[in-house]
Amino acid sequence: MSNKILFKRGLKNNLPLLAESEPAFCIDTNEVFIGSSKGNFKLADYSTLLGVKNSLESTGINIKDFGAIGDGNSHILGDRFSTLALAKIVYPNAISLGEEIDTIAIQSAFDYANTNKKRVVICPLGTYIINKQINAYSLISIIGSGYDTEFKLHGCNGFVFQVDTDGSKTLINNFRITSAGFLLGMIGLKFDGTSSMKNIHYGYSINNVMCYYLDTFISLKTAWHFEINGCLAIGCYNGILIKGQCVSNIIDKFIYDGSHANTPSSSAYTTHKTGISVKEFQYNESKNRPESLRITSPYISSAYYGIYWNDCLYGVIENADIDYITGYGIWVNHFDGGLHIQNVSIYLYTNGLCGLYYEEKPTWNNGMSNVDNLTVGAWDDTDLANNSCCIKISTHNTNIKLKNIHLGISVLGRFFRGIWIDNSESTSFEDITINENQFTGDCFRCDNSIISVMKSSHDPNGVNVRTKTKINSNLALYSDSRGYRLPIAVGQTSMNIVFFNGLENDYFGAFVSATWDSQYYITNKTLQGFTIHFVAPADGNQSLDWMVFI
């Protein structure tokens, strides 16, 4: 027969002095008292306990309250419960006794917060073992205690966020995610939306989160108004991957160091180490909107791609240090307008291919890309590959404007080529500094392209860079009033001059001064330009000046 606890019962006014540990129940007030050495002690009633509970939960749901241990060791449900049925009493979503207690406790905290409309899950310092992805929710912030809060993944994703139309003011702050061992496809923070307006991620802020040794740190798909601030990816194969219809997102002070990331051995893994990858990142409603993505003050080191910008609209890359790159510093592919690159330094390393690369497009597109204050160099103490290049602008790219460009300055290794423009139009250069001694091939090469405004191009040591200029096409460099020291290839017999802004009428004359002995004449005078013909073809690497007068 089980033991019974005997209560004194009566009215509160008649309550006697109770013996130590003796209980009493007041039938008129529903209060419970217990005796102690210091007198009768009132136990809290349900409403008081509920108030305390609600007060505590107002600051956040603590994963420790759901049984999370966080000592860095494995604790499975089978260590605490003899049967799955007993485990389900505490953790209804348990599916096996092999589940980690940390994992299922954290999931239970999120589920409770979602059901009870709580906005914060608190993760105290500790190392929590995660062997199954955590399904998080929008509108629920995750707050750690700095990098001393660690989530250690065992062969699974970290936090996968449920799609919702509004995650505004949701914070993901102050913790780190690590891995017990690299696994293909393992992601730290995953936001997997769709192109439907009802299935987007909106308004999250990710701050001071560090990630070690995963396939990918952050994966965003269809994200609006995200902010990623002060985050670090160390030893990850990919830093931040962004894809889909996205608007007004910011990546600020992101650090990626891929120096300890192992290349996956799987033959299915065909990508390269990438700091930030942006794909199909567009918004089609209006071209008057602000940029889809602003990347500011990143430090990206030891990657194949520093920043990979593919099929995207309207963005800014600024104040970036891109270092020890073995492939491409910034790769731009299939973009159509509005990419601005400013205050960026790129240094390549062993087998590095190109600092800034505008890849070939299948058709002509209006690039409208501005590059201002770009430095490209190489750290390696040997010459880079024969096809290495500081800047390459490939087929069908138009309206790319480069200003304050510094190539091959104060570095160890040498590039093969400085600038290579191939079958592109309306590219302009202003204030270009090229160190001729750092190139084993051409400083400047132009194939089948038209260049607008080129001025103040020089070598820091006073070397005439035209000695390493190769022209394989009818190159046109122009402004609206004059052209200065325009390079002319051997055998070239004409040059098309195209005005940058166009004239108000075609009543103008032109003066031409060439460096070889030839007569010339002018045809095709229009508001947009004219053609210079040389009676005697250029007999070497020559140049000419021209000036329009009205």
pLDDT tens-place string over residues 51-82: 555 555 556 889 998 999 999 999 999 999 99
pLDDT of residue 208: 94
Sign of the C-alpha dihedral computed for residues 354, 355, 359 and 364 taken in this order: negative
**Mean pLDDT across the chain:** 80
> Cα separation of 178 and 175, whole Å?
10
Please list the residues that pair with 221 across neighbouring strands. 192, 243
- Give per-residue pLDDT as tens, 339-381: 899 999 999 987 888 999 988 765 555 556 889 999 998 886 5
Mean pLDDT for the stretch of residues 246-253? 83
State the number of CA atoms in the 13 A half-sphere of 450 facing the CB. 15
Listed in order, strand segments (DSSP E) in 163-311 are 170-179, 187-192, 201-202, 204-212, 216-221, 223-224, 227-229, 232-234, 238-243, 249-252, 255-257, 274-279, 293-296, 299-301, 305-310
- Give per-residue pLDDT as tens, 286-303: 444 445 789 999 999 999
Say which residue the tokens 């709580």 belong to: 118
194 pLDDT higher than 90 = no
267 pLDDT higher than 90 = no
> Cα separation of 51 and 207, whole Å?
32
pTM value? 0.75
16 pLDDT higher than 50 = yes
Binned at pLDDT 50, 70 and 90, residue 196 comes out as very low
Helix (H) or strand (E) segment spanning residue 43: strand 39-43
State the number of CA atoms in the 13 A half-sphere of 48 facing the CB. 7
Helix (H) or strand (E) segment spanning residue 404: strand 397-407
pLDDT of residue 403: 87
Of residues 529, 442, 455, the one with CA closest to residue 494: 529
Say which residue the tokens 């790319």 belong to: 400
Binned at pLDDT 50, 70 and 90, residue 454 comes out as low
- Give per-residue pLDDT as tens, 212-242: 888 899 988 777 778 999 999 998 989 999 8
pLDDT of residue 463: 36
As a residue count, the chain comes to 550
193 pLDDT higher than 70 = no
Q: In 3-state terms, what secondary structure has residue 202? A: strand
> Cα separation of 139 and 110, whole Å?
11
Six-digit token string for 497: 């001059």
- Give per-residue pLDDT as tens, 375-422: 998 886 566 777 788 999 887 777 788 888 888 865 667 788 888 888
| 20 DSSP assignment | T
| 194 DSSP assignment | -
pLDDT of residue 83: 93
pLDDT of residue 380: 67
Binned at pLDDT 50, 70 and 90, residue 473 comes out as very low
Mean pLDDT for the stretch of residues 484-500? 78
129 pLDDT higher than 70 = yes
